[in-house]
Each structure stands twice: as structure tokens, then as C-alpha cells.
Amino acid sequence: MRHPVDQAGVIAFVFPGQGAQYAGMGRELAQLYPEAAETYARADRALGFPLSRMCWEGPDELLRQTENTQPAILATSCAALAVLGARSLAPGVAAGLSLGEYTALVAAGAMTLEEALPLVRSRGRFMQDAAAGRRTAMAAILGLSADRVRDVCRAASRRGVVEPSNFNGPGQVVIAGDEAAVQDGIVRAKAAGAKRAVLLPVSAPFHTSLMRPAAERLMPLLDALDLRDAAIPVVSNVTARPVRAPREIRDALAAQVDSPVRWDDSVRTMAALGATVFIEIGPGSSLSGLIRKTLPGAEVLRVEDRATLEQTMARLVPDGRYA
């Protein structure tokens, strides 16, 4: 395996979360690379239904259902990961945004694809159930500091629950909670000088205290899982610190459901661990933009189809930096 150990720095593998899905994702990889096709076949067997067809054909309405979205993105990211693995490229550190943390743990050998898929399908269902019957919302706040967004949420909380849920990058924070409180937060954020404050098309207030029932339902499933030590550091969303031992992995995954995602700090932690090259593996490119904003000097690559795979391998392999 090509491990990132020379003076050029460490390679970080990063994996997207919910929202990155689209009908057709992973289809080209499965058509061209046997290891990707086999990953999807394993996913179909593990879940007992053709998840691969949903990834490749949709329909979008079905793919957007949280209990389908989460395993679909994980399987697609793992298919791309398998293609990289077949080309002997390995990371020195890994992380994923929300759901993507599970893919990072698969990449690190802490759990298998077959273990992760039913777990995240249940996680998606639990998170959706936790918001059932309650009018909730999420909104992106752009151009305010994290502290100012916290102040906005405290002021808006007179209308209900509203909390920061994702610290994505400099000047980009997501808030979530009860719809009325989030709407009030949008008004207050604009008055405080936010460049933009807009509702997001999501179905539940992820990573807030309203998700606590989902975290409680997930804990027994995590406890029953035979986790292994991670072969590389996996940076936790909750603490922005690396985890490797099974107990700390379980605790981090349980806490992640109803705690804010500290993605910007997680990226900085990977840089502190030596990462200078980041490869976003799976559908979409949202993480690439966030990483560039957080670490302007980092090299950011992607793998989601043949074109991005070839670009990434051409950049890393011919000069021998990771050979």
C-alpha cells in the first residue's frame, strides 16, 4: 500500500454525509471497476434489497428518505474507496461529515461494510422518527462567526429549540431546531450582519438536542457491534479529536447524533496530524470547498467517477511522492 509518510505530508481520506446523494451516483464506477461492482453487490446482500439500483436509478423521492439516503451514500463512498484500495492508495488519517464518519471507520478497519450498512439504515430511521410530528427546520448562516451564531441561537430560543448543528467552515454555520425558532434565528442573523441566512431542504433537525431519542435508540446497536481498533486515526465529529479504540468510537458515534458537527475543527486536526492532501471520496464535492476555505494551502482531490479517479491518481502517483 502507498502510505503517506514522506516530507510531502499525510493523505487524509474524507467522506461526505447526507445531502450529497443523487440518482446515478456510483453507476460509472460499478460499470468500469469490478471492485466497485462487488462493493454494491455486498451492500445489496447485506440489506436484502437492491440498494445499488436505488443509487443508480433513483427515484429521487425514494433516495431522499433518510433511512435510504444514509446507506446509499455509505455504499457509494465505499465503492469509490474500494477502487482506490485496488490501486494501493491508503490514508494516514480519515474523517467524515456526520454519516461520513461511518465510512471513515470502514476505511480504518474498525467496522465492515456489512456491519455499517444496517447500522446507518437504522440510524436514519431513528433520526427521522425523532422529528416526527414536530415542525422543524435547518438553516445555513453565512458570514457570521461561530460565537455570533451562538448568540443568535440564544436570543431566538424564546421561540423554541434552536442550536448550532454544523460548524462547517469559516463563516459557515448551520442552525437547526423548531421551525419558528429557526425562522427567528434567520431574521436575527441577517440583522447581525450575516451575508446569507437560508433554510435548507432537509427533513429533520440533525445534530441537535431534539435528536436525543435517536441517540438513545442507537446506543444498544452500537454496544452490540463487534468493533475493532481503527488502523489509522479517525477524527470524531463531536470532539474533533482522533479516536481509535472501540469504546471511544462507540461513545463518539452515539454522541454525534445529538451534538453539533465540528467539521472545521476536524479539518484543522487532520492538518495538525500532518495531512496536506485531502481526498473526498464519494458523491459530490461539498467537503472539498469547505476544506479549501478552512485550509487554503491544502491540496484537495476527489474520487466519485472515472474522471476524478484518473485526475487524483495522475496527481499522486507518477511523481513517486507516495510510492
269 and 222 in a single domain? The answer is yes
Residue 203 is predicted with a pLDDT of 77
Q: Percent of the chain scored above 70 by pLDDT?
A: 96
Residue 69 has pLDDT above 70, yes or no: yes
Locate cell 447526507: which residue?
A: 18
Question: Which domain does 192 fall in, by range?
Answer: 136-202
The answer as to whether 4 is a domain residue is no
Query: Is residue 9 predicted with pLDDT exceeding 80?
Result: no
Q: Do 274 and 296 share a domain, yes or no?
A: yes
Catalytic residue selected from 98, 165, 236, 259: 98
Cα angle 109, 100, 45 (rounded to 5 degrees) comes to: 65
**Region 68-86 average pLDDT:** 97
61 shares a domain with 21: yes
What pLDDT, on a 0 to 100 scale, did the predictor assign at position 319?
Answer: 57
Decide: 241 and 61 in contact? Cβ < 8 Å. Answer: no
Catalytic residue among 52, 77, 165, 207: 207
Q: Are 164 and 139 in contact (CB under 8 A)?
A: no
Q: What is the mean pLDDT of the chain?
A: 94
Residue 73 sits in the same domain as residue 141 = no
pLDDT band at 105 (very low <50, low <70, confident <90, very high): very high
User: How sure is the predictor about 8, in pLDDT bands with cuts at 50, 70 and 90?
Assistant: low
Per-residue confidence (pLDDT) for residue 1, from 0 to 100? 44
Same domain? 21 vs 149 = no
The confidence score (pLDDT) of residue 317 equals: 81
**Looking at residue 213, what is its pLDDT?**
97
3-state secondary structure 254-320: HHHCCCCEEHHHHHHHHHHCCEEEEEEECCCCHHHHHHHHHCCCCEEEEECCHHHHHHHHHHHCCCC
The reply to whether 154 and 114 lie within a common domain is no
Give tens-digit pLDDT for 189-207: 999 999 999 999 887 899 9
Verify that 238 and 178 share a domain, yes or no: no
Helix-strand-coil percent breakdown of the chain, rounded to 5?
A: 50, 15, 35
Q: pLDDT class for 150, splitting at 50, 70, 90?
A: very high
Check whether 318 has a pLDDT greater than 70: no
> For residue 152, what pLDDT is reported?
98
In a domain, 323, yes or no: no
Tell whether 106 and 142 lie within a shared domain: no
12-58: per-residue pLDDT in tens? 999 999 989 999 999 999 999 999 999 999 999 999 999 999 999 99
Q: Give the integer Cα–Cα distance in Å for 255 and 240.
A: 12
What's the CATH number where 252 sits? 3.40.366.10
User: Do 148 and 177 have their domain in common?
Assistant: yes
pLDDT for 6: 42
Rounded Cα distance, 281 and 274, in Å: 19
Which range is least confidently modeled, 3-7, 144-148, 178-182? 3-7
- Reference 245, options 220, 227, 226, 222; nearest CA is 227
Residues 117, 176: one domain?
Answer: no
The answer on 308 and 253 residing in a single domain is: yes
Is residue 267 predicted with pLDDT exceeding 90? Answer: yes
207 labelled catalytic: yes
| Cα–Cα distance, 140 to 149 (Å, whole number) | 10
Residues 81 and 214 in one domain: yes
Dist. CA 37–CA 293, nearest whole Å: 34
| Mode of pairing for the β-strands spanning 234-235 and 242-243 | antiparallel
Q: Is 50 exceeded by the pLDDT of residue 5?
A: no
pLDDT tens string 209-255: 999 999 999 999 999 999 999 999 999 999 999 999 999 999 999 99
CB 71 within 8 A of CB 123: no
User: How many domains are there within the chain?
Assistant: 2
98 included as an active-site residue: yes
